[in-house]
């Protein structure tokens, strides 16, 4: 498939070149062909035009399912959060793990946000999604008519057999009002709005200790700030930007702390934190929260360019921020700063447009079937927006798998799980993870996600014929033939094969 992308030279960049060849192979083998005719299979409503929305739409359309995408923002917001953060953001993980569609081809290891947004737009054009996207249309309400078809807002938008919500986890920048903020003489910026801000020779205080705080630190280095003080009220693990380390951690199939978790924790303290070992969280295991991925932080802390201060934020003063250090005898201390960056995160977009039947305790998100299907509605998949934290979320494969599971449920009622069995799966996962200090679905590892998928497909023999389709997106024609044969068999024995797309017949 033709696509704008520079081929790296095999002489100057042999590894990137190899990576490029592998991507071309994946594209040839796995990208469904963009449609050129009528799409006659069930219709899917897709909410949100970020990476997840665009790539799941491309998967649907590539397999002959029609879609309408609804995006709250204008067309320049195509690409979701990546279109809104300023130029200072880039991928933390290697782009090889962030191929959000098999036809995406990266030509660098850590692409910046412009490259990411370009790739999303290319994908959107390639799969003819322009004519299927409604911008400036926020979805307020999603409900079913008496035949079980989904209606988005009102019937003027048509009827849909399935719904994919892809509204992401990062909405508006969070700017908490802290006491004394008005007294502070210097400028205060949110971490997503740092592009072009003058920082040369300045002392910068960063409130917050997450991934955005680490990015603010990188911005400060590029902009020539003289000193950065990171004010963090809670601890997160930092792991090196090293693919092997990432992969090893994501191989913990249990998705929780185990009797062996002290080993990676001790190794990180010994080999990565070293003299800064007291920065590592003391009372929080590594398999409980998303770690930050960065190798340069430690060097910046050692050189004195930056200081990491574990503290409670008391209030702003005219010259900086008053904090109370943690650990020590709790003395107040004024941190002077010429500018303050609020790396305090983003508000979470709400799924409240879905019907109340999706939120029945104890099966409210993220405690859903495979984390994305509300137990009463297998025709709804909320991909990548019920997510809390994880290690090794690889950005391509799982969006495709979740989309194709939904497509399988839509066309083949025998594979569609009933609410009873969806709830039993959730109960089972909670039981397996009952000793985890955080909720069963609040943290997972990539291998655990793979185990969820394998279990789902292996558990119901009617899903076996779909395995290649679900995992790799190939072989749709074969299952389609098998489904027709099954339909015939069902009608002969009197099972209504074409029941409401939401009524699960399977397990
Ligand atoms: C600064 C920053 C850096 C990041 N870096 C990385 C990284 O390095 N690696 C990584 O793996 N992840 C990273 N992430 C995580 C990021 O969330 C994901 O990588 C990914 O971009 C999420 O895409 P998405 O499509 O699921 O959501 P989003 O990009 O948030 O898109 C959701 C879209 O839905 C729309 N929407 C929301 N509600 C409605 C509604 N009711 N009706 C209609 N439309 C609606 C929004 O307008 C938005 O366009 C980063 C996040 C941030 C904020
Ligand atoms: N390149 C990247 O990969 C990248 C870059 C940026 C962001 N992201 C992603 O984007 C998401 C958001 O990351 P983020 O770093 O912006 O947000 P975050 O992870 O939510 O971190 C926010 C930080 O601010 C602190 N904070 C919030 N409110 C505060 C207050 N009122 N007073 C003092 N401290 C306060 C939080 O402390 P508590 O923990 O105590 O609440 C936390 O340390 C994450 O999923 C992250 O992975 C990724
Ligand atoms: C980036 O920063 C500029 C200047 O501060 C601001 O006007 C703009 O809205 C920001 N966002 C994007 C996506 O450019
Ligand atoms: C839903 O209705 C609101 C107003 O009630 C409107 O702003 C929005 O664009 C509508 N969305 C869709 C998808 O029709
Ligand atoms: C951000 O990137 C865009 C695209 O490359 C560029 O045109 C713009 O000037 C950059 N903005 C800043 C403030 O660097
Ligand atoms: C899903 O969301 C999480 C957190 O927002 C992110 O780390 C991950 O990369 C996302 N995956 C994709 C395909 O966008």
Two tokens, residue 66? 């029609």
Lowest mean pLDDT, pick from 8-17, 50-59, 118-127, 400-409: 8-17
C-alpha span between 111 and 95 (Å, rounded): 7
Render pLDDT for 367-382 as a digit per residue (tens, 0 to 9). 999 999 999 999 999 9
Confidence tier at 2 by pLDDT (50, 70, 90): very low
Matching CATH topology for 14-171+349-492 and 181-342?
yes
| 114 ligand 5 Cβ < 6 A | yes
Render pLDDT for 389-424 as a digit per residue (tens, 0 to 9). 999 766 678 999 999 999 999 988 889 999 999 999
pTM for the structure as a whole? 0.91
The domains of the chain are located at 14-171+349-492, 181-342
| 196 ligand 3 Cβ < 6 A | yes
**Is pLDDT of 109 > 70?**
yes
Render pLDDT for 133-173 as a digit per residue (tens, 0 to 9). 999 999 999 999 988 899 999 999 999 999 999 999 999 99
Domain at 181-342: CATH code: 3.50.50.60
Find the residues whose C-beta lies inside 6 A of ligand 2.
89, 92, 170, 176, 207-212, 215, 232-234, 290, 313, 343-346
Q: What is the 448 CA–ligand 1 centroid distance (Å)?
A: 23
| 195 ligand 3 Cβ < 6 A | yes
Q: Which ligand is nearest to the CA of 84?
A: 3
| 196 ligand 5 Cβ < 6 A | yes
C-alpha span between 409 and 44 (Å, rounded): 12
Q: What is the 100 CA–ligand 5 centroid distance (Å)?
A: 24
Q: What is the 106 CA–ligand 5 centroid distance (Å)?
A: 20
| 445 DSSP β-pair partners | 391
Secondary structure of 9-40 in HEC code, one letter for each residue: CCCCCHHHHHHHHHHHHHHHHHCCCCCCCCCC
For the segment 59-79, the average pLDDT, to the nearest whole number, is 94
Render pLDDT for 414-450 as a digit per residue (tens, 0 to 9). 899 999 999 999 999 999 999 999 999 999 999 999 9
Topology of domain 14-171+349-492 in CATH is FAD/NAD(P)-binding domain (3.50.50)
Instruction: Report the pLDDT value the prediction gives residue 328, as an integer from 0 to 100.
Output: 65
Find the residues whose C-beta lies inside 6 A of ligand 4.
70, 137-140, 152-153, 157
Q: 122 versus 29: which is more confidently predicted?
A: 122
Instruction: Report the pLDDT value the prediction gives residue 244, as an integer from 0 to 100.
Output: 87
Q: What is the 389 CA–ligand 2 centroid distance (Å)?
A: 12
Render pLDDT for 301-313 as a digit per residue (tens, 0 to 9). 999 999 999 999 9
Q: How many C-beta atoms lie closer than 10 Å to residue 312's C-beta?
A: 14
Q: What is the 48 CA–ligand 4 centroid distance (Å)?
A: 13
Two tokens, residue 246? 């990432």
8 Å CB contact between 390 and 443? yes
8 Å CB contact between 231 and 206? yes
Q: What is the 92 CA–ligand 1 centroid distance (Å)?
A: 15
| 52 ligand 6 Cβ < 6 A | yes
Instruction: Report the pLDDT value the prediction gives residue 39, as an integer from 0 to 100.
Output: 63
């Amino acid at each position: 498939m033709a696509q704008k992308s520079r081929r790296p030279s095999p002489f100057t960049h042999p590894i990137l070149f190899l990576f490029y060849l592998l991507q071309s192979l994946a594209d040839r083998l796995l990208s469904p062909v963009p449609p050129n005719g009528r799409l006659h299979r069930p219709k899917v409503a897709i909410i949100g035009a970020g990476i997840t929305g665009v790539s799941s739409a491309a998967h649907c359309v590539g397999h002959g399912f029609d879609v309408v995408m609804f995006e709250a923002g204008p067309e320049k917001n195509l690409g979701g959060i990546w279109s809104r953060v300023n130029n200072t953001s880039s991928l933390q993980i290697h782009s090889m793990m962030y191929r959000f569609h098999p036809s995406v081809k990266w030509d660098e290891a850590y692409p910046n946000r412009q490259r990411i947004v370009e790739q999303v737009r290319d994908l959107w054009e390639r799969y003819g999604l322009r004519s299927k996207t409604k911008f400036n249309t926020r979805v307020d309400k999603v409900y079913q008519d008496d035949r079980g078809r989904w209606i988005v807002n009102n019937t003027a938008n048509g009827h849909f057999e399935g719904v994919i919500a892809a509204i992401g986890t990062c909405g508006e920048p969070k700017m908490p009002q802290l006491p004394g903020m008005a007294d502070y003489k210097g400028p205060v910026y949110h971490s997503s709005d740092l592009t072009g801000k003058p920082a040369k020779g300045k002392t910068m205080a960063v409130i917050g200790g997450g991934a955005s705080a680490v990015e603010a630190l990188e911005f400060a280095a590029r902009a020539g700030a003289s000193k950065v003080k990171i004010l963090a009220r809670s601890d997160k693990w930092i792991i090196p930007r090293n693919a092997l380390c990432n992969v090893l951690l994501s191989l913990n199939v249990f998705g929780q702390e185990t009797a062996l978790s002290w080993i990676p924790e001790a190794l990180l303290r010994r080999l990565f934190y070293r003299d800064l070992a007291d920065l590592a969280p003391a009372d929080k295991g590594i398999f409980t929260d998303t770690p930050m991925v960065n190798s340069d932080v430690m060097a910046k802390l050692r050189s004195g360019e930056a200081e990491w201060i574990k503290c409670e934020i008391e209030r702003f003063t005219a010259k900086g921020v008053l904090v109370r250090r943690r650990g020590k005898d709790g003395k107040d201390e004024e941190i002077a700063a010429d500018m303050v960056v609020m790396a305090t995160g983003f508000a979470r977009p709400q799924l409240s447009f879905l019907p109340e039947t999706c939120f029945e305790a104890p099966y409210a998100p993220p405690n859903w079937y495979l984390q994305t299907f509300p137990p009463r509605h297998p025709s709804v998949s909320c991909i990548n927006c019920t997510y809390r934290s994880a290690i090794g979320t690889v950005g391509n494969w799982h969006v495709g798998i979740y989309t194709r599971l939904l497509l399988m449920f839509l066309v083949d009622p025998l594979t569609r799980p009933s609410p009873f069995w969806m709830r039993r799966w959730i109960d089972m996962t909670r039981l397996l993870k009952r000793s985890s200090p955080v909720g069963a679905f609040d943290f997972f590892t990539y291998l655990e996600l793979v185990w969820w998928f394998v279990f789902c497909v292996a558990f119901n023999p009617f899903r076996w014929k779909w395995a290649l389709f679900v995992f790799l997106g190939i072989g749709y024609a074969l299952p389609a033939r098998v489904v027709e044969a099954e339909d015939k068999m069902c009608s002969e024995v009197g099972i209504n094969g074409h029941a409401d797309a939401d009524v699960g017949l399977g397990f």
